[in-house]
């Protein structure tokens, strides 16, 4: 809502100035902390980014498909480092593509983490319960139920296809 409209609804509204220097300093520490793990970062805002951690999570070749660590273990470690460096909480959403990562992030807010896998993913070695895992869903089942809660049906151009 624009401030002009808010003042019409609430004439006694008081505003506080932004502390842009503080935002900038925390954002810089946040980005530096994440870049210690991976340099494939696409900034979205001062406190949000896409990070491609594929290389950290696995090695793939014609003979092997090995995952070196669980995304949820990496997320817990990353969130702990961000919290220690910035005194701010962090949310991590992991997905097999950007859409699923974004949906997982929305599901995990605030201050948690989530993993949303595409239906083609073989979920062989994820533990059924884990201290670091708040959510592990297969998009072909639970992910489609999650999408049902979103207002996607209002957009005729948007097909509900999960990869």
- 19, 28, 42, 48: which is the annotated catalytic residue? 48
3-state SS record for the chain? CCHHHHHHHCCCCCCCCCCHHHHHHHHHHHHHHHHCCCCCEEEEECCEEEECCHHHHEEECCCCEEECCCHHHHHHHHHHHHHHHHCCCCCEEEECCHHHHHHHHHHHCCCCEEEEECCCCCCCCCCCCCCCCCCEEEHHHHHHHHHHCCHHHHCCCCCCCCC
Number of CB atoms found within 10 A of residue 94's CB: 24
Phi, psi angles (nearest 5°) of residue 70: -75, 140
Catalytic residue check, 42? no
The residues that are catalytic are 48
């Amino acid at each position: 809502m624009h401030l002009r409209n808010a003042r019409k609804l609430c004439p006694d509204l008081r505003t506080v100035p932004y502390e842009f220097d503080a935002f900038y300093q925390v954002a810089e520490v946040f980005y530096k902390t994440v870049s210690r793990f991976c340099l494939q970062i696409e900034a979205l805002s001062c406190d949000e980014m896409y990070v491609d951690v594929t290389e950290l999570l696995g090695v793939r070749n014609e003979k092997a498909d090995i995952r070196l660590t669980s995304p949820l273990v990496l997320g817990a470690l990353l969130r702990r480092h961000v919290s220690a460096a910035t005194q701010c909480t962090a949310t991590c959403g992991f997905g097999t593509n950007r859409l699923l990562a974004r949906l997982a992030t929305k599901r995990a807010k605030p201050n948690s983490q989530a993993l949303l896998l595409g239906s083609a993913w073989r979920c062989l070695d994820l533990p059924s319960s884990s201290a670091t895992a708040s959510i592990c869903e297969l998009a072909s089942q639970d992910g489609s139920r999650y999408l049902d809660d979103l207002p996607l049906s209002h957009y005729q151009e948007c097909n509900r296809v999960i990869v």
